[in-house]
């Protein structure tokens, strides 16, 4: 039995993905589990995304079971009360004056980089930081994969600094820190280098990779990678979202910078259509990335969080990361209680 005092609080503050943008159409409503509660995510007729507590503040009906989007509001299935994206009751089913105190709980929303993010704070505080937009000009569309598993966002995001596991789990060679990690409030970054087999196939030389993780809180990691000798650039998302106190939805994605010089990969590819080559390689990139992430599942789903880790040279800046992560909890984390 693991003591409650050694378990991370299950719902750290921050921005978390609740849906992929392209999956949510106008006037569509879906139910999700988020931070131990039911929510509905809907898109209004004008295209605005909203994340709302699933239960109507009038008499407790669940919006996700028979509710609908009406223009810029969601309609309750019980008495046809309607609520706008600020949670205000705008209409009753009887045409009477809406009750001013019947206000639905909504979460701050940021729709950026192809995802819908909701901000969670255990004390209901407003966000003081945001996830920045990235420039997608010249890049292939992101390819998405989604799983549900037993883990915690601090555990999955810790991989961004755990350089030791890159060789032992994923089989990378020559793993090294190029730029030491640094933080700026909720932001953490570093730069690493490594060598691995070529994802283009066994007949291609091993590739050297420099990758830079950009971690914004515990729910949003964006990684930029450059490979040589082929001159390829890729981007990767790692987006864990807590559902209940024990499980997360983990969304990952990859994107390839469109290939402009096929001959750098292989002289024989010089006459190959660039758009087709970009498409084929982008498919291979997400297959390789999916395999890499999946290799961590047995570890994540069966490990426990140790307060006192006995670190060794080569582990990476795990202690640095854990000190940074404390800011995302309003309650003390286990390592702060010892």
Average pLDDT for 33-43? 98
- Confidence band, pLDDT 50/70/90 cuts, at residue 148: very high
The SS3 assignment for 301 reads helix
CATH number for 13-120 (one of 2.102.10.10, 3.30.200.20, 3.40.250.10, 3.40.50.300): it is 2.102.10.10
Average pLDDT for 62-88? 98
Provide the percentage of residues in the chain whose pLDDT is more than 90: 78
Is residue 202 predicted with pLDDT exceeding 70? no
Amino acid 185: pLDDT: 98
Average of per-residue pLDDT values in the chain: 92
- Confidence band, pLDDT 50/70/90 cuts, at residue 2: very low
Q: What is the pLDDT of residues 161-189, one digit of tens each?
A: 998 898 888 888 888 999 999 999 999 99
Provide the percentage of residues in the chain whose pLDDT is more than 70: 95
Average pLDDT for 188-198? 89
Distance, in Å, from the CA atom of 133 to the CA atom of 222, rounded to the nearest integer, reads: 11
Distance, in Å, from the CA atom of 225 to the CA atom of 236, rounded to the nearest integer, reads: 8
Is residue 337 predicted with pLDDT exceeding 70? no
Q: What is the pLDDT of residues 216-260, one digit of tens each?
A: 999 999 999 999 888 899 999 999 999 998 999 999 999 999 998
Distance, in Å, from the CA atom of 58 to the CA atom of 222, rounded to the nearest integer, reads: 40
H or E segment at 283? Answer: helix 274-294
Strand order in the sheet with 115-120: 14-20, 115-120, 109-112
Is residue 4 predicted with pLDDT exceeding 70? no
Average pLDDT for 48-70? 98
Amino acid 167: pLDDT: 85
Predicted structure pTM score: 0.93
Strand order in the sheet with 37-43: 29-34, 37-43, 49-53, 106-107
Amino acid 338: pLDDT: 53
Amino acid 200: pLDDT: 61
Q: What is the pLDDT of residues 254-269, one digit of tens each?
A: 999 999 888 888 777 8
Domain ranges of the chain: 13-120, 143-324
Instruction: Label residue 113 left, alpha or beta by phi (over 0 means left) and psi (-120 to 50 means alpha).
Output: left
Determine the CATH number of domain 143-324. Answer: 3.90.380.10
């Amino acid at each position: 039995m693991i003591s409650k005092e050694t378990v991370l609080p299950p719902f750290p503050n921050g921005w978390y993905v609740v849906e992929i943008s392209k999956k949510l159409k106008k006037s569509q409503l879906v139910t999700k589990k988020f931070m131990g509660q039911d929510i509905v995510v809907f898109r209004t007729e004008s295209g605005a995304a909203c994340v709302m507590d699933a239960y109507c503040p009038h008499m407790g009906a669940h919006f996700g079971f028979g509710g609908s989007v009406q223009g810029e509001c969601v309609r309750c299935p019980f008495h046809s009360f309607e609520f706008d994206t600020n949670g205000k009751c705008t209409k009753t089913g009887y045409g009477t004056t809406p009750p001013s105190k019947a206000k639905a709980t909504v979460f701050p929303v940021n729709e950026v980089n192809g995802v819908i993010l909701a901000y969670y704070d255990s004390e209901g505080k407003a966000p003081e930081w945001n996830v920045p937009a990235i420039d997608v000009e010249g890049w292939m569309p992101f390819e998405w994969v989604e799983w549900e598993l037993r883990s915690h966002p601090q555990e999955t995001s810790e991989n961004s600094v755990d350089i030791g596991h890159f060789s032992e789990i994923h089989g990378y060679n020559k793993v090294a820190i190029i730029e030491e990690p640094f933080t700026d409030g909720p932001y953490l970054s570093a730069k690493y280098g490594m060598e691995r087999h070529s994802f283009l196939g066994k007949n291609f030389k091993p590739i050297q990779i420099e990758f830079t993780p950009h971690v914004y809180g515990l729910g949003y990691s964006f990684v930029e990678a450059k490979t040589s000798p082929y001159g390829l650039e890729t981007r990767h998302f790692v987006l864990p979202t807590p559902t209940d106190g024990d499980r997360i939805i983990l969304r990952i994605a990859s994107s390839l910078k469109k290939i402009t010089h096929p001959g750098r990969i292989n002289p024989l590819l010089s006459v190959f259509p660039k758009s087709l080559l970009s498409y084929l390689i982008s498919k291979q990139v997400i297959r390789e990335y999916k395999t890499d992430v999946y290799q961590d599942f047995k570890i994540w789903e069966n490990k426990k969080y140790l307060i006192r880790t006995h670190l060794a040279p080569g582990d990476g800046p795990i202690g640095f990361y854990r000190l940074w992560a404390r800011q995302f909890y309003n309650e003390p984390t286990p390592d702060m209680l010892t």
